[in-house]
A and B are shown apart, each in its own frame.
Chain A
Amino acid sequence: MLSLPRFMRKFLISCFIITVLVFVFMWGISRITALQLFNAFDPIAQALSDFELTDYAFSYLRPDPRVDERIVLVNIGEIPRAGIAQQISIINKYKPRVIGIDGYFNCEGGLRDPENCPQLLDTLGNLLLANAIAEAGNVVLVSKLHQSMKSINSGVLDVYDSMEYSDPMFQEHADYGYANLVTEAQYQEDVKICRSFIPKIKVGDREELAFSVKVAMKYDSAATMELLNRGNEEEIINYRGNIEMQNVRIKSLKEKDLHTTNYPVMFYALDVHQVFNEEFEPEMIKDKIVLLGYLGKHFGDPSWTDKFFTPLNKKVSGRANPDMFGLVVHANIIAMILNQDYVDELKEWQTYAIAFILCFLNIALFTYINKKMPIWFDSLSLLIQIIQIFLLMGLTIWIFAELSFKLDLTLTLAAIALAGPIFEFCHNVLETFLARVWRKKLTRPKDEVLTTENSDVS
């Protein structure tokens, strides 16, 4: 066994104890903030809670992504079911390999009366749609994950035990995948920030696949199995781009870049009337993935319906317009699966390990500076911390942009920021206090010490 000199052992033990104290302090802070005592006075934290450093890389720094020509998006606008049936029939003539429909054809909440579910009256439209789906034979519809009341009342989170499907007449000849995406939204119209998705989930005894995974599976099962074999419960979406057209009529604004994202056209896209009038080249459909869904009433419609905030948004924090329709989010996931360009990230234990090691090294450096240049300690330690924090932030962005690796160093940054103050506290307050206690323990009280005054010695 390697034997270290005594001073070195003492040095390492001291650094270790201070590092542990930094983590204990962080744990304590996290407990207090979990009680949400300061939320009312915390607008900055609320504004930045949606912010991630890697969002900069998505929008500004990574190499320009390439268009994925295998995916065609079709806008269903606000046309009724008969219209969607007609769109499917037209598209099906040109032999797409898979048709995904990002829309529910049921009565929400199970309310099956004409007032709450007027679509039931459109029997002809329903028949036409069911027939078009059956004739196409390669349709994937969306389903929805739900928690039963029993599960909700038990307070369990993210455990789903029931599914919502379209009406049986549409189900019969279609496959299903759940369209739920990972967001903080409480309900559909809530603010939705989407960075990741869950590829598969257990519902009861059955394993369900996400809508995008199901579509990709029908198109290229080998590539999709690669995703499933990664075994990640949650996958970060490596966004490529958007479909975003502006309806700007004022000349002075036309030349300005008013897009909410930097890559506004990344897939083939057809508007409602362009399908009906067949204003497209047939080969853009043949053997492709066609996704039907809502992209506004028409191209350029600034609607917020089914629109998400994504890391591609030019505004990375604070108040902003949502930038991407749900259909385009699914298209991005499919493109990621087919191209196998995943985003990897650190495992939880690795984030703790990196934070601990860097914090330990900082404490060691501070101890050295304090010993050798005590006068310069305050200025130097602060400067070192600031430089390190900026370097690590830059490194996080750079690694994400260049290697598609999400380096979550939040804990490390917090540990480095706290290392200086805790070190000073330990050296100036704790050490002095302990030394005094220690000295007190080792030193006899004054009355017990023999002096010329209290002794018989003369």
Chain B
Amino acid sequence: MKTQKLALLIVVIGLSASVYGQDYTFKVLANKGSNEVKIGGSWQPLKTGASLKKDDEIKLSDNSYIGLVHVSGRPVELKKSGNYKVSELEGQMGTGSSVLHKYTDFILSSNSAEAQKNRLSATGAVHRAVGGEAGIKLMLPEYQHSGIYNTQAVVNWDGSKVSGPYVVTLRNMFEEVLLKTETPETSYKIDLTDPLLAQENAILIEVSSKANPKEASKQYLIKKLSPADRKKVEDAFNEIKDQVSEESALSAYILAGFYEQNGLYIDAITAYEEAVKRAPDVPTFKESYEEFLLRNGLK
């Protein structure tokens, strides 16, 4: 009797485990754009592979896409921006087309509205974006790699299209100007320990032509790392600390690789600049710097 009860218990546990194993309605197969999911009461960025439950809600932003797989294994796409409740999406899944329906649809498809198309939808022309950020392109990464570990950042830009002098403007996240300075160079060093900047966690930088302020770069973000991220980098840095303690070009070069590996492109730029400055006659450092900029789409 005891054995039977034990067996029954195991079966019950097994069944409930399998039920909980499928404790989702959809999973995210593919995700394009900055989409979000509301879990509980808070909105979070949607990740590929995430499980969505009945109570969750998805927000699809403009020009975005989400591919989902239902627990039954059938895929579903979301293309139109807006909010979608997972429970409603599940309700729309249905049971799929029957074979008879498919055959009927196939035979009649040539007369369907889908088959009737406008004939002037395509043009013989291309869209051209505004000429490379109005002529001034800063060699800084996009928002996702805007974190900085050190306190100094070197910002370079291409001055071939717009000649100097230039105005460098630093703003806080409320777009209030923190610092405005002029320079005839195509490079500017930001010191985050400067009292004007020290209190800010994130800074927006923009460079414009002094002669024509309309000729301006787009705004780039430089963001101090969060304490947790900083700790992670610090721990990793401690492992290579001994190899880069010496103030040489090679140390700066190794550091550049370390920063790049950790996605800290702004620090990597500063390190590469330092390596080139310390050994201006060694072409390897210049070539590697160039490669780095091209590799990461910074140039």
Task: Show the binding face of A for B, using Cβ within 8 Å.
Answer: 56, 60-61, 63-64, 66-67, 69, 79-80, 82-83, 86, 121-122, 124-125, 241, 243, 245-249, 253-255, 257, 263-271, 273-274, 276-277, 279-285, 299-300, 401-402
Contacts and interface: CB of A to CB of B under 8 A. Distances in A.
B74 A66 contact: yes
A69 B65 contact: no
Given A265-B29, A269-B67, A274 B48 contact: yes
B263 interface: yes
Contacts of A285: 49
A279 B47 contact: yes
The 9 A-B pairs at the shortest CB distance, nearest first, are namely A284-B49, A265-B67, A66-B73, A281-B49, A269-B30, A67-B69, A280-B48, A299-B32, A60-B106
Contacts of A254: 79-80
B77 A264 contact: yes
Which of A253, A263, A271 is most buried by chain B, counting CB atoms within 10 A of its CB? A271
19 contacts: A56-B106, A60-B106, A60-B109, A63-B96, A66-B74, A67-B75, A243-B30, A245-B30, A245-B32, A254-B80, A265-B75, A266-B75, A268-B49, A269-B48, A279-B45, A280-B49, A281-B47, A300-B32, A402-B99
A241 B75 contact: yes
A228 to B, nearest CB: 27
B62 to A, nearest CB: 8
B34 to A, nearest CB: 10
Interface string B252-295: 00000100110100000000000000000000000110010011
Nearest to B102: A61
A124 B288 contact: yes
Interface in B59-98: 63, 65, 67, 69, 72-75, 77, 79-80, 96-97
Interface of B is mostly: mixed
Given A254-B80, A279-B48, 20 more contacts: A63-B96, A64-B96, A64-B97, A67-B75, A124-B257, A124-B291, A249-B63, A257-B114, A268-B49, A269-B29, A269-B48, A270-B48, A271-B32, A274-B48, A280-B49, A281-B50, A282-B49, A285-B49, A299-B30, A299-B65
B137 interface: no
B158 interface: no
Nearest to A257: B114
How many interface residues does chain B have, given as a range?
Answer: 35 or more
A56 to B, nearest CB: 7
B103 interface: yes
A83 B253 CA distance: 18
Given A69-B69, A124-B288, A247-B63, A279 B77 contact: no
Nearest to B77: A265
A82 B291 CA distance: 10
Contact of B31 (A63, A247, A255, A279): A279
B295 A82 contact: yes
B144 A273 contact: yes
Contacts of A121: 287, 291
A69 B69 CA distance: 9
Contacts of A86: 261
Contacts of B263: 276-277
